[in-house]
Every structure is written in structure tokens, then in C-alpha cells.
Amino acid sequence: MKNKIADCLKDVESFNAANIEELEQFRIKYLGKKGIIPSLFADFKSVSAEDRKEVGQEINNLKTAVQEKIVSLKENLDKGGETQVSGLDLSLPGESQLGGRHPLSLVRNEIIEIFSRIGFSVSEGPEIEDDFHNFTALNFPEEHPARDMQDTFFIERDPELVLRTHTSSVQVRVMEQSQPPIRTISPGRVFRNEAISARAHCIFHQVEGLYVDKDVSFKDLKQTLFYFAKELFGEQTKIRFRPSYFPFTEPSAEMDISCNICGGEGCNICKYTGWVEILGCGMVDPNVLEACNIDSKKYTGFAFGMGIERITLLKYQVNDLRLFFENDLRFLKQFQAAR
């Protein structure tokens, strides 16, 4: 598989399109439903455990190269210019060296990078969402008390539209538009009508993950999250799972890590327990799969979701969530070296 990926990368780097039609054929060849990239992800499950990290990264690098090539050539063609066969591509966007990234962006990018190593792609969706994708397809029936778990902002002109309360709505859209195997994470901004305090905000950011395929088990979920936690917080991190409830997963659990601020000894951040909850997870409820036209008798899956603010608080030992939204340069300048 590595040789195939390397050959594809050479093909992408040397590709040149004379017109939009050739560029579209190139896009279908690599990114279409039966294209090279989806087939590589389908074959990924047969890769040995010791090679998965490297191969997963190579596939994602190839996908990024294809997307960047398409954007570059399309911009050139739209301007009526000739596409470049080789040399420096001046149409590619530059990266500013001024200032530093926001701490939430730093942690978001790190989370994406960790999951990309094991074959997860990134998917995005609208922040203004309809009731079906935000609630109904995720096993929240009308008038069900589970809807009270999330205080929602409704759009006044249309009661069927809401500011999304979680990025699980993106997962529904992914499942509607594609068939398993599906392996994706959905980072994004979400909204809940909550009082703003040192521990909560009405706007925050999530990363939710989804894996659907044949014979996916809770064991696969645990191993994926063990890998993630140790990559992000270090090999010394201890992990535990506790039973929980979410409408869209069954069985469900919450995952705790040993508090990296006090080393598990007990502090105000972990409420003197030595443990901090960082995410919720579980096996995708069959009702959710069926609502997205996926055969629940043939496929199973797991899902998880975490708040980026909570992860960032722990990683950088920040004690007030409001600091992430106040744009205080005295606070933000501390992260300039962590680009």
C-alpha cells in the first residue's frame, strides 16, 4: 500500500489540467465515491497494527495534496491563466509569521493531527442546523426529556432551525452522504444557552468522532481513546471509563484521565478526586444508523465527543474558561512560542 500511495503522490505532484473538465476528472479519480482515496481508506483496515500510524498519515497527506492541487489549478483556470507544470506555485496561500495561534486552535490542530495518524478524516457542517440533524436523527424524539439535556438557541423566524448544540449533526450528514466504512472527526463551534462562568460558556468548541464499519466493538472504541489520551497528555496518563447515558449511543460511557495538574493527588480542578472527565462516548445506537439509511444489522459503530476548552484548560493549566474569549493580549502572548 505504501508504494501505491507514493506513486499516487508523484502523479498528483506532476498533474496539470488544461481546462475545468480535466480538473474535474482528476477530482473524481481521487476523491469520487469510487476514487483512489476512498479505496485506500477502505483497504486501511487490513493494514497491520504496527504500520497503521504511518500508513494513516500517508493517506491523509495524499488527500491533502490532492485537495491543494485542485484548489491551486482551479484558481489559475478561473483567472484564465496557464497552469504551472513545475516550479514555485505563487497562487498557493502563504502563512503569516506574525503573532501566534490561539490556544484553542493549537489544541484543535493537535487533536486533528493525532486522529489523522490513525485514518480519521475531517468533516464540517453548518452552525445553523435543522431539528432533524441536530435532534431527531440522533434519537431525540419530540417532547423527549433527553432534549432538556441541552439548552438550545432557537432561530426566531423558523422554529425548526437552531444553533447547533453539538457537532454530532455533522456526523449525521456524513452518514447520509456516504456508506461505511466511515472514519471521521468533526471539529467546530457549538452553542448552548448556559450562564457564563469560569467553567462554562454559551459558545464553545467540540471535536466529535465517528467510526462505522462491520464488526466495530467497544474494544475498538477504548483502544482508540487510550491512544488519543496518551498521545495528547503523555504516556503516564491513567484512563478510566464510567457508565453514562446519551440518547444517540448505547452502551454509553464517560472517560476520565488522571489529573495532570495535581498528578492525581487532588486539587480544585479535579474536585480533589484525582480524576477529570474529558469526553463522552459509546456505541452508536441502531436507531441513529437506520435514520441515516445505514443497515444496523450489517454495521456497527462508535462515537465520542469532547470539548476543546476542557482539553485546553488541562493541557495549559488555565483556571478560567472565559480567558479564551476575552482577547486579552497578556494572556494570548503566552502561546506565541507554541505555534
* Structure confidence at residue 95 (pLDDT): 60
pLDDT bucket at 149, cuts 50 / 70 / 90: low
> What DSSP designation does 158 have?
-
Q: Among all chains, which residue has been given the C-alpha cell 504511518?
A: 54
| Beta carbons of 225 and 207 less than 8 angstroms apart | no
Q: Among all chains, which residue has been given the C-alpha cell 463551534?
A: 189
pLDDT bucket at 85, cuts 50 / 70 / 90: very low
Domain 103-232+284-338 classification at class level: alpha beta
* Structure confidence at residue 97 (pLDDT): 55
Mean of pLDDT values over 297-313: 94
Mean of pLDDT values over 30-34: 84
* Structure confidence at residue 143 (pLDDT): 74
Q: Mean pLDDT, the chain, as a whole number? A: 86
pLDDT bucket at 140, cuts 50 / 70 / 90: confident
Say how many residues make up the chain.
Answer: 339
Confidence check: pLDDT of 39 > 90: no
Tens digits of residue pLDDT in 213-256: 999 999 999 999 999 999 999 898 999 999 999 999 999 999 99
Tens digits of residue pLDDT in 95-133: 655 567 899 999 999 999 999 999 999 999 999 999 899
Q: Residue 206 is inside which H or E element, if any? A: strand 203-213
pTM, 2 dp: 0.68
Give residue limits of the domains in the chain.
2-78, 103-232+284-338
* Structure confidence at residue 121 (pLDDT): 94
Name, in order, each residue with C-beta under 8 angstroms of 154's C-beta and a sequence gap of 6 or more.
Answer: 161, 162
pLDDT bucket at 84, cuts 50 / 70 / 90: very low
CA distance linking residue 18 with residue 86, whole number of Å:
14
Tens digits of residue pLDDT in 277-286: 999 999 999 9
Confidence check: pLDDT of 187 > 90: yes
Pairing of strands 249-258, 275-284: antiparallel
Counting Cβ atoms within 10 Å, is residue 291 exposed (0-12), middle (13-18) or buried (19+)?
Answer: buried
Q: Which residue has the higher pLDDT, 34 or 179?
A: 179
- Helices and strands (H, E) in the chain, number of each type: 11, 9
Three-class DSSP category at 330: helix
* Structure confidence at residue 186 (pLDDT): 96
CA distance linking residue 284 with residue 304, whole number of Å:
9
Counting Cβ atoms within 10 Å, is residue 167 exposed (0-12), middle (13-18) or buried (19+)?
Answer: buried
* Structure confidence at residue 82 (pLDDT): 47
pLDDT bucket at 295, cuts 50 / 70 / 90: very high
CA distance linking residue 199 with residue 319, whole number of Å:
8
* Structure confidence at residue 2 (pLDDT): 81
